[in-house]
Protein backbone atom coordinates (compact mmCIF):
# COMPACT_ATOMS: atom_id res chain seq x y z
CA UNK A 1 0.00 0.00 0.00
CA UNK A 2 2.88 2.39 0.86
CA UNK A 3 4.53 1.55 -2.46
CA UNK A 4 1.30 2.35 -4.30
CA UNK A 5 1.09 5.84 -2.81
CA UNK A 6 4.86 6.50 -2.66
CA UNK A 7 4.66 9.24 -5.33
CA UNK A 8 1.97 11.10 -3.39
CA UNK A 9 3.93 10.80 -0.13
CA UNK A 10 7.11 12.09 -1.81
CA UNK A 11 5.15 14.99 -3.29
CA UNK A 12 3.69 15.92 0.12
CA UNK A 13 7.15 15.71 1.73
CA UNK A 14 8.63 18.03 -0.93
CA UNK A 15 5.80 20.55 -0.53
CA UNK A 16 6.14 20.58 3.26
CA UNK A 17 9.91 21.08 2.97
CA UNK A 18 9.49 24.05 0.59
CA UNK A 19 6.84 25.58 2.87
CA UNK A 20 9.08 25.23 5.95
CA UNK A 21 12.00 26.87 4.13
CA UNK A 22 9.76 29.76 3.15
CA UNK A 23 8.39 30.20 6.68
CA UNK A 24 11.93 30.18 8.12
CA UNK A 25 12.88 33.12 5.83
CA UNK A 26 16.19 31.42 4.97
CA UNK A 27 15.69 32.23 1.26
CA UNK A 28 15.23 35.94 0.47
CA UNK A 29 13.38 35.47 -2.85
CA UNK A 30 9.90 33.99 -2.36
CA UNK A 31 9.32 33.85 -6.12
CA UNK A 32 11.71 30.91 -6.48
CA UNK A 33 10.07 28.94 -3.67
CA UNK A 34 6.59 29.79 -4.95
CA UNK A 35 7.54 28.48 -8.39
CA UNK A 36 8.88 25.26 -6.89
CA UNK A 37 5.80 24.86 -4.68
CA UNK A 38 3.11 25.81 -7.21
CA UNK A 39 4.56 24.69 -10.57
CA UNK A 40 7.60 22.40 -10.34
CA UNK A 41 6.47 19.98 -7.60
CA UNK A 42 2.93 19.42 -9.05
CA UNK A 43 4.42 18.97 -12.56
CA UNK A 44 6.89 16.40 -11.18
CA UNK A 45 4.02 14.62 -9.40
CA UNK A 46 2.01 14.55 -12.64
CA UNK A 47 4.91 13.02 -14.61
CA UNK A 48 5.52 10.33 -11.96
CA UNK A 49 1.86 9.38 -11.57
CA UNK A 50 0.52 9.89 -15.09
CA UNK A 51 0.03 6.16 -15.68
CA UNK A 52 -1.02 5.34 -12.10
CA UNK A 53 -3.48 8.08 -11.12
CA UNK A 54 -6.55 9.53 -12.80
CA UNK A 55 -6.51 13.01 -14.30
CA UNK A 56 -9.08 14.06 -11.70
CA UNK A 57 -6.62 13.16 -8.91
CA UNK A 58 -3.92 15.43 -10.36
CA UNK A 59 -6.24 18.41 -10.83
CA UNK A 60 -7.55 17.96 -7.29
CA UNK A 61 -3.97 18.01 -5.97
CA UNK A 62 -3.09 21.07 -8.07
CA UNK A 63 -6.23 22.91 -6.92
CA UNK A 64 -5.35 22.17 -3.28
CA UNK A 65 -1.82 23.54 -3.80
CA UNK A 66 -3.20 26.65 -5.53
CA UNK A 67 -5.59 27.28 -2.61
CA UNK A 68 -2.91 27.19 0.11
CA UNK A 69 -0.06 28.95 -1.77
CA UNK A 70 -1.03 32.58 -0.89
CA UNK A 71 -1.27 31.63 2.81
CA UNK A 72 2.33 30.34 2.91
CA UNK A 73 4.28 32.67 0.62
CA UNK A 74 4.54 36.46 0.65
CA UNK A 75 2.95 37.99 -2.44
CA UNK A 76 4.66 41.38 -2.27
CA UNK A 77 7.22 41.50 -5.06
CA UNK A 78 6.39 37.93 -6.01
CA UNK A 79 6.10 37.11 -9.73
CA UNK A 80 2.72 35.44 -8.94
CA UNK A 81 1.37 38.55 -7.20
CA UNK A 82 -0.77 39.60 -10.19
CA UNK A 83 -2.22 36.13 -10.57
CA UNK A 84 -3.28 35.88 -6.94
CA UNK A 85 -4.89 39.31 -7.05
CA UNK A 86 -7.52 37.56 -9.18
CA UNK A 87 -7.60 34.44 -6.98
CA UNK A 88 -11.36 34.69 -6.31
CA UNK A 89 -12.14 34.34 -10.01
CA UNK A 90 -9.39 31.78 -10.58
CA UNK A 91 -10.64 29.72 -7.63
CA UNK A 92 -14.14 29.75 -9.10
CA UNK A 93 -12.86 28.74 -12.53
CA UNK A 94 -10.71 25.96 -11.03
CA UNK A 95 -13.62 24.71 -8.93
CA UNK A 96 -15.96 24.55 -11.94
CA UNK A 97 -13.27 22.76 -13.95
CA UNK A 98 -12.68 20.33 -11.04
CA UNK A 99 -16.40 19.61 -10.76
CA UNK A 100 -16.51 18.87 -14.48
CA UNK A 101 -13.52 16.52 -14.18
CA UNK A 102 -15.19 14.87 -11.19
CA UNK A 103 -18.38 14.39 -13.20
CA UNK A 104 -16.40 12.80 -16.04
CA UNK A 105 -14.56 10.54 -13.58
CA UNK A 106 -17.85 9.39 -11.98
CA UNK A 107 -19.46 8.79 -15.37
CA UNK A 108 -16.53 6.70 -16.62
CA UNK A 109 -16.32 4.84 -13.30
CA UNK A 110 -20.01 4.03 -13.48
CA UNK A 111 -19.70 2.70 -17.04
CA UNK A 112 -16.71 0.55 -16.07
CA UNK A 113 -18.60 -0.96 -13.12
CA UNK A 114 -21.73 -1.63 -15.18
CA UNK A 115 -19.70 -3.37 -17.88
CA UNK A 116 -18.34 -5.80 -15.29
CA UNK A 117 -21.80 -6.38 -13.79
CA UNK A 118 -22.92 -10.03 -14.01
CA UNK A 119 -25.75 -12.10 -12.57
CA UNK A 120 -23.70 -13.23 -9.57
CA UNK A 121 -21.70 -10.00 -9.06
CA UNK A 122 -23.32 -6.57 -8.89
CA UNK A 123 -21.74 -3.12 -8.44
CA UNK A 124 -21.38 -3.57 -4.67
CA UNK A 125 -19.43 -6.82 -5.11
CA UNK A 126 -17.16 -5.34 -7.79
CA UNK A 127 -16.31 -2.21 -5.78
CA UNK A 128 -15.96 -4.14 -2.52
CA UNK A 129 -13.71 -6.85 -4.00
CA UNK A 130 -11.50 -4.26 -5.69
CA UNK A 131 -10.99 -2.28 -2.48
CA UNK A 132 -10.36 -5.38 -0.38
CA UNK A 133 -7.64 -6.49 -2.79
CA UNK A 134 -6.05 -3.02 -2.84
CA UNK A 135 -5.95 -2.68 0.97
CA UNK A 136 -3.82 -5.27 2.79
CA UNK A 137 -5.61 -4.88 6.13
CA UNK A 138 -8.77 -7.00 6.01
CA UNK A 139 -10.96 -5.14 8.50
CA UNK A 140 -9.86 -1.73 7.27
CA UNK A 141 -10.67 -2.83 3.72
CA UNK A 142 -14.18 -3.82 4.74
CA UNK A 143 -14.77 -0.53 6.56
CA UNK A 144 -13.54 1.55 3.61
CA UNK A 145 -15.58 -0.63 1.26
CA UNK A 146 -18.74 0.18 3.24
CA UNK A 147 -18.04 3.92 3.05
CA UNK A 148 -17.23 3.95 -0.67
CA UNK A 149 -20.29 1.83 -1.54
CA UNK A 150 -22.42 4.09 0.64
CA UNK A 151 -21.37 7.16 -1.38
CA UNK A 152 -21.67 5.20 -4.65
CA UNK A 153 -25.29 4.21 -4.04
CA UNK A 154 -26.19 7.60 -2.57
CA UNK A 155 -24.85 9.78 -5.41
CA UNK A 156 -24.00 7.63 -8.46
CA UNK A 157 -26.35 4.65 -8.70
CA UNK A 158 -29.71 5.68 -10.24
CA UNK A 159 -30.76 2.81 -12.51
CA UNK A 160 -31.76 -0.79 -11.88
CA UNK A 161 -29.89 -3.84 -13.07
CA UNK A 162 -31.45 -6.17 -15.61
CA UNK A 163 -34.41 -8.00 -14.11
CA UNK A 164 -34.50 -11.77 -13.91
CA UNK A 165 -37.12 -14.30 -12.84
CA UNK A 166 -34.80 -15.59 -10.11
CA UNK A 167 -34.54 -12.16 -8.42
CA UNK A 168 -36.50 -11.45 -5.24
CA UNK A 169 -36.85 -8.00 -3.69
CA UNK A 170 -37.31 -7.25 0.00
CA UNK A 171 -38.65 -3.70 0.28
CA UNK A 172 -41.93 -3.31 -1.64
CA UNK A 173 -44.23 -4.73 1.05
CA UNK A 174 -42.04 -4.46 4.12
CA UNK A 175 -42.52 -0.74 4.76
CA UNK A 176 -38.75 -0.39 5.25
CA UNK A 177 -38.61 2.71 3.03
CA UNK A 178 -41.17 4.47 5.26
CA UNK A 179 -39.15 3.51 8.36
CA UNK A 180 -35.93 4.98 6.92
CA UNK A 181 -37.63 8.09 5.56
CA UNK A 182 -39.27 8.73 8.92
CA UNK A 183 -36.00 8.15 10.76
CA UNK A 184 -34.12 10.56 8.49
CA UNK A 185 -36.85 13.21 8.77
CA UNK A 186 -36.84 13.01 12.58
CA UNK A 187 -33.04 13.14 12.65
CA UNK A 188 -33.01 16.25 10.44
CA UNK A 189 -35.54 18.06 12.69
CA UNK A 190 -33.58 17.05 15.78
CA UNK A 191 -30.28 18.06 14.19
CA UNK A 192 -31.58 21.53 13.35
CA UNK A 193 -32.59 22.11 16.98
CA UNK A 194 -29.31 20.77 18.37
CA UNK A 195 -27.31 22.72 15.77
CA UNK A 196 -28.96 26.01 16.79
CA UNK A 197 -28.08 25.36 20.43
CA UNK A 198 -24.50 24.43 19.58
CA UNK A 199 -23.99 27.53 17.41
CA UNK A 200 -24.81 29.72 20.41
CA UNK A 201 -22.32 27.74 22.54
CA UNK A 202 -19.44 26.84 20.17
CA UNK A 203 -19.45 27.28 16.38
CA UNK A 204 -16.65 24.74 15.81
CA UNK A 205 -18.58 22.00 17.63
CA UNK A 206 -21.72 22.98 15.70
CA UNK A 207 -19.92 22.57 12.37
CA UNK A 208 -18.49 19.20 13.46
CA UNK A 209 -21.96 18.04 14.50
CA UNK A 210 -23.37 19.18 11.15
CA UNK A 211 -20.68 17.29 9.22
CA UNK A 212 -21.32 14.09 11.22
CA UNK A 213 -25.05 14.39 10.69
CA UNK A 214 -24.67 14.86 6.93
CA UNK A 215 -22.36 11.83 6.91
CA UNK A 216 -25.02 9.79 8.75
CA UNK A 217 -27.72 10.84 6.27
CA UNK A 218 -25.45 9.85 3.35
CA UNK A 219 -24.93 6.40 4.89
CA UNK A 220 -28.66 5.90 5.52
CA UNK A 221 -29.59 7.10 2.02
CA UNK A 222 -26.91 4.95 0.41
CA UNK A 223 -28.06 1.89 2.36
CA UNK A 224 -31.74 2.48 1.49
CA UNK A 225 -30.96 2.90 -2.21
CA UNK A 226 -28.82 -0.24 -2.09
CA UNK A 227 -31.84 -2.09 -0.64
CA UNK A 228 -33.86 -0.92 -3.67
CA UNK A 229 -31.26 -1.83 -6.29
CA UNK A 230 -29.82 -5.07 -4.86
CA UNK A 231 -32.02 -8.16 -5.17
CA UNK A 232 -31.72 -11.69 -3.81
CA UNK A 233 -31.00 -14.48 -6.32
CA UNK A 234 -31.94 -18.14 -6.41
CA UNK A 235 -29.61 -20.06 -8.73
CA UNK A 236 -29.34 -23.75 -9.50
CA UNK A 237 -26.75 -24.48 -6.81
CA UNK A 238 -27.02 -21.61 -4.32
CA UNK A 239 -28.90 -18.61 -2.94
CA UNK A 240 -27.30 -15.17 -3.13
CA UNK A 241 -28.51 -12.88 -0.34
CA UNK A 242 -28.07 -9.15 -1.01
CA UNK A 243 -29.35 -6.61 1.45
CA UNK A 244 -28.35 -2.95 1.26
CA UNK A 245 -24.73 -2.40 2.26
CA UNK A 246 -24.38 -5.81 3.91
CA UNK A 247 -21.79 -8.03 2.24
CA UNK A 248 -23.19 -10.50 -0.28
CA UNK A 249 -23.87 -13.89 1.31
CA UNK A 250 -23.79 -17.05 -0.80
CA UNK A 251 -25.61 -20.08 0.67
CA UNK A 252 -25.21 -23.43 -1.14
CA UNK A 253 -28.56 -25.22 -1.38
CA UNK A 254 -27.13 -28.41 0.11
CA UNK A 255 -26.12 -26.47 3.28
CA UNK A 256 -29.74 -25.54 4.10
CA UNK A 257 -31.31 -27.59 6.86
CA UNK A 258 -34.71 -25.88 6.83
CA UNK A 259 -36.38 -22.82 5.28
CA UNK A 260 -39.77 -21.55 6.41
CA UNK A 261 -41.92 -18.48 6.91
CA UNK A 262 -41.28 -16.83 10.27
CA UNK A 263 -42.62 -13.50 11.52
CA UNK A 264 -42.39 -13.92 15.29
CA UNK A 265 -40.08 -12.44 17.90
CA UNK A 266 -36.54 -13.73 18.35
CA UNK A 267 -33.74 -13.58 20.88
CA UNK A 268 -30.42 -12.06 19.90
CA UNK A 269 -27.54 -14.53 19.85
CA UNK A 270 -24.25 -15.19 18.08
CA UNK A 271 -25.91 -18.00 16.10
CA UNK A 272 -28.53 -15.71 14.58
CA UNK A 273 -28.17 -12.86 12.09
CA UNK A 274 -30.99 -10.72 10.81
CA UNK A 275 -30.44 -8.85 7.56
CA UNK A 276 -31.65 -5.52 8.88
CA UNK A 277 -29.57 -2.45 9.67
CA UNK A 278 -32.16 -1.21 12.21
CA UNK A 279 -32.67 -4.57 13.90
CA UNK A 280 -36.20 -5.16 15.22
CA UNK A 281 -37.48 -1.95 13.64
CA UNK A 282 -37.41 -3.79 10.30
CA UNK A 283 -39.71 -6.76 9.66
CA UNK A 284 -38.74 -10.30 8.68
CA UNK A 285 -40.76 -13.18 7.23
CA UNK A 286 -38.18 -15.83 6.25
CA UNK A 287 -36.06 -18.05 8.46
CA UNK A 288 -33.20 -20.08 7.01
CA UNK A 289 -31.54 -22.68 9.23
CA UNK A 290 -28.15 -23.96 8.10
CA UNK A 291 -26.51 -27.30 8.75
CA UNK A 292 -23.27 -25.58 9.76
CA UNK A 293 -22.28 -22.06 10.81
CA UNK A 294 -21.48 -19.65 8.01
CA UNK A 295 -19.53 -16.38 8.18
CA UNK A 296 -21.62 -13.26 7.57
CA UNK A 297 -20.01 -9.82 7.20
CA UNK A 298 -22.09 -6.96 8.57
CA UNK A 299 -21.52 -3.23 7.92
CA UNK A 300 -18.26 -1.65 9.19
CA UNK A 301 -16.42 -5.00 8.94
CA UNK A 302 -18.28 -6.75 11.81
CA UNK A 303 -18.45 -10.54 11.30
CA UNK A 304 -20.63 -13.28 12.78
CA UNK A 305 -20.92 -17.04 12.30
CA UNK A 306 -24.65 -17.82 12.50
CA UNK A 307 -26.58 -21.02 11.85
CA UNK A 308 -29.87 -19.16 11.45
CA UNK A 309 -30.64 -16.21 9.17
CA UNK A 310 -33.70 -13.94 9.18
CA UNK A 311 -34.67 -11.67 6.30
CA UNK A 312 -37.66 -10.18 4.52
CA UNK A 313 -38.80 -11.27 1.03
CA UNK A 314 -41.74 -9.65 -0.76
CA UNK A 315 -42.94 -12.88 -2.38
CA UNK A 316 -42.10 -15.18 0.51
CA UNK A 317 -44.15 -18.17 -0.73
CA UNK A 318 -42.61 -18.04 -4.22
CA UNK A 319 -39.15 -17.66 -2.68
CA UNK A 320 -39.56 -20.77 -0.50
CA UNK A 321 -41.15 -22.77 -3.32
CA UNK A 322 -38.35 -21.85 -5.77
CA UNK A 323 -35.67 -22.91 -3.30
CA UNK A 324 -37.42 -26.19 -2.42
CA UNK A 325 -37.88 -26.96 -6.12
CA UNK A 326 -34.17 -26.32 -6.73
CA UNK A 327 -33.28 -28.62 -3.82
CA UNK A 328 -35.62 -31.36 -5.10
CA UNK A 329 -34.33 -31.22 -8.69
CA UNK A 330 -31.23 -33.41 -8.11
CA UNK A 331 -33.31 -35.93 -6.12
CA UNK A 332 -35.90 -36.11 -8.90
CA UNK A 333 -33.16 -36.57 -11.49
CA UNK A 334 -31.58 -39.39 -9.46
CA UNK A 335 -34.97 -41.11 -9.03
CA UNK A 336 -35.68 -40.95 -12.77
CA UNK A 337 -32.20 -42.28 -13.55
CA UNK A 338 -32.68 -45.21 -11.18
CA UNK A 339 -36.07 -46.09 -12.75
CA UNK A 340 -34.52 -46.04 -16.20
CA UNK A 341 -31.66 -48.32 -15.08
CA UNK A 342 -34.11 -50.78 -13.55
CA UNK A 343 -36.31 -50.81 -16.64
CA UNK A 344 -33.27 -51.43 -18.84
- Read out DSSP for 24-83? TT-SS-HHHHHHIIIIIHHHHHHHHHTTTS-HHHHHHHHHHHHHHHHHHS--TT-TTHHH
Q: Which of 11-15, 49-53, 189-193, 329-333 has the lowest mean pLDDT?
A: 329-333
Residue 148 Cα to chain centre, angstroms: 3
pLDDT in tens, 277-318: 988 889 999 999 999 999 898 887 788 999 999 999 999 999
Residue 319: is its pLDDT beyond 90? Answer: yes
CA distance 227 to 153: 10
For residues 53-76, average pLDDT: 76
Looking at 81-175, list the stretches that DSSP marks H as alpha helix, in order from N- to C-terminal side. 81-85, 87-115, 123-134, 138-151
Contact assessment for residue 119 and residue 84, using Cβ atoms and an 8 Å cutoff: no
Confidence of residue 95 (pLDDT cuts 50, 70, 90): confident
pLDDT (0 to 100) of residue 312: 95
Pairing between strand 303-304 and 286-290?
Answer: unpaired
User: What are the residues whose beta carbons fall under 8 Å from the beta carbon of 146, sequence distance 6 or more?
Assistant: 245, 299, 300, 301
pLDDT (0 to 100) of residue 71: 81
pLDDT in tens, 118-154: 677 888 888 887 776 656 567 767 777 788 889 889 8
* Higher per-residue pLDDT: 132 or 217: 217
pLDDT (0 to 100) of residue 6: 67
Confidence of residue 104 (pLDDT cuts 50, 70, 90): confident
Amino acid sequence: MIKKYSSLLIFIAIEISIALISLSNSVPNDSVLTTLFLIVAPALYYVLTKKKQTEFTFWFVFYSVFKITPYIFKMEGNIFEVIFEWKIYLNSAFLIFLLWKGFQFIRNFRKAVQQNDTIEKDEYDIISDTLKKAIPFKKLGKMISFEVCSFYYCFIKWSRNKSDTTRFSGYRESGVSAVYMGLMLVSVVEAIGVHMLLVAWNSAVAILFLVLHVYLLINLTGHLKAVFFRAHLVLSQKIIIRYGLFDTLEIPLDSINMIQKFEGDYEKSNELVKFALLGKLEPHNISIELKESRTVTLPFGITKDPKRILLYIDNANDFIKTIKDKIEEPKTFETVSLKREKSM
